[in-house]
């Protein structure tokens, strides 16, 4: 059985997806979320499985829910359910990615060397970052991937964008912070540093500030998710995060 923190985090992730969405349709084992304003964003137009589901039927459930879109994205929040569903989804052409749910178990850092910023402050570096990652996509796709952060304001009771600035005032590193003081839960999401400013401590400043702000709101379950196959997981481990569970994504198209 999952521990209390993991149950709380899974409930938070499910609720955030529902609240962020412009439209929600309940499905067997979960729900589909849609936002036509950000049609190119897979995260805003996907199927979320947060309960038990008939794994053999899941590809057809997703096809019915997402058939009007050029992509398919299924997020499965429970590790056991995801592993059971992996084989039928892979047979249906989906690629499988595993994400670590990492809980902050170390001491809360003192101070807050970064600051809260608005979306306009990170729009230019975030646009540049997406263009580097996806050089072949059009302007509309990039705009949706940048502007979708506005929809995230609906996802939690308190949503803040945290940024660390260079001496010249440019935002060099940034992240989202989602807070639910009622349940004592906080998520740090999309911690990114501009290529030109890597290795200078800006990401540490953002993470330190996010953890401090979460603690100030009495959020004892401070967590993030990290790609199980990528290096940042080790960076987070060195900063007091420990793996307590897994979530999974299945993508096609």
User: Residue 224 sits in a domain of what CATH number?
Assistant: 3.40.630.30
pLDDT at residue 1 in the model: 38
Given 101, 128, 144, the domain boundary residue is: 101
**Same domain, yes or no, for 8 and 57?**
yes
How much is the pTM? 0.95
In this structure, the answer to whether residues 119 and 96 fall within a common structural domain is no
Q: What is the pLDDT of residue 146?
A: 95
> In this structure, are 68 and 127 located in the same domain?
no
Ranges of H-type helices in 154-240: 202-216, 232-237
Separation in Å, CA 120 to CA 30, 31, 61, 126, 161:
34, 32, 38, 10, 11
Q: What is the 3-state secondary structure (H, E, C) of 196-216?
A: HHCCCCHHHHHHHHHHHHHHH
Final residue belonging to a domain, choices 47, 73, 101: 101
In this structure, the answer to whether residues 195 and 223 fall within a common structural domain is yes
pLDDT at residue number 3? 84
Q: From 70, 101, 132, give the residue that closes a domain.
A: 101
**Distance (Å, whole) CA 222 – CA 230:** 21
Domain shared by 122 and 240, yes or no: yes
Same domain, 36 and 11: yes
* pLDDT tens, N- to C-terminus, the chain (253 residues): 348 899 999 999 999 999 999 999 999 999 999 999 999 999 999 999 999 999 999 999 999 999 999 999 999 999 999 999 999 999 999 999 999 999 999 999 998 899 999 999 999 999 999 999 999 999 999 999 999 999 999 999 999 999 999 999 999 999 999 999 999 999 999 999 999 999 999 999 999 999 999 999 999 999 999 999 999 999 999 999 999 999 999 999 8
The whole domain housing 211 covers: 115-244
Q: How many distinct structural domains can be found in the chain? A: 2
pLDDT number for residue 67: 96
Does the residue 129 lie in any domain? yes
What local confidence, expressed as pLDDT, does residue 2 receive? 47
Helix axis angle for 139-147 and 119-133, nearest 10°, is 140
Angle at 56 between CA 51 and CA 60, to 5 degrees: 90
In a domain, 252, yes or no: no
- Indicate if 232 and 120 belong to the same structural domain: yes
What backbone phi and psi angles, to 5 degrees, belong to 48? -115, 125
Distance separating alpha carbons of residues 55 and 15, to the nearest angstrom:
22
Q: Are the CB atoms for 70 and 216 separated by under 8 Å?
A: no
Q: What share of the chain is helix, strand, coil (3-state, %, to 5)?
A: 40, 30, 30
């Amino acid at each position: 059985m999952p521990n209390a923190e993991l149950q709380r985090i899974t409930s938070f992730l499910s609720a955030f997806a529902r609240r962020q969405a412009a439209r929600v349709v309940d499905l067997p084992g979960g729900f589909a979320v849609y936002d036509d304003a950000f049609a190119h964003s897979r995260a805003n137009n996907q199927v979320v499985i947060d309960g038990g589901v008939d794994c053999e039927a899941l590809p057809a459930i997703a096809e019915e829910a997402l058939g009007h879109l050029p992509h398919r994205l299924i997020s499965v929040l429970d590790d056991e359910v995801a592993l059971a569903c992996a084989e039928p989804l892979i047979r249906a052409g989906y690629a499988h990615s595993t994400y670590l749910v990492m809980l902050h178990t170390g001491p809360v850092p003192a101070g807050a060397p970064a600051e809260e910023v608005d979306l306009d402050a990170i729009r230019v570096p975030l646009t540049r970052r997406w263009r580097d990652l996806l050089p072949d996509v059009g302007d509309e796709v990039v705009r949706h991937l940048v502007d979708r952060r506005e929809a995230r304001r609906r996802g939690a009771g308190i949503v803040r964008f945290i940024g660390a600035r260079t001496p010249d005032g440019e935002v060099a590193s940034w992240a989202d912070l989602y807070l639910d003081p009622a349940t004592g839960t906080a998520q740090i999401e999309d911690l990114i540093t501009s290529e030109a400013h890597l290795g200078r401590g800006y990401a540490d400043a953002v993470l330190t500030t996010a953890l401090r702000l979460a603690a100030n709101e009495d959020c004892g379950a401070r967590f993030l998710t990290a790609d199980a196959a990528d290096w940042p997981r080790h960076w987070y481990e060195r900063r007091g995060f420990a793996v307590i569970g897994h979530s999974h994504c299945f993508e096609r198209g």
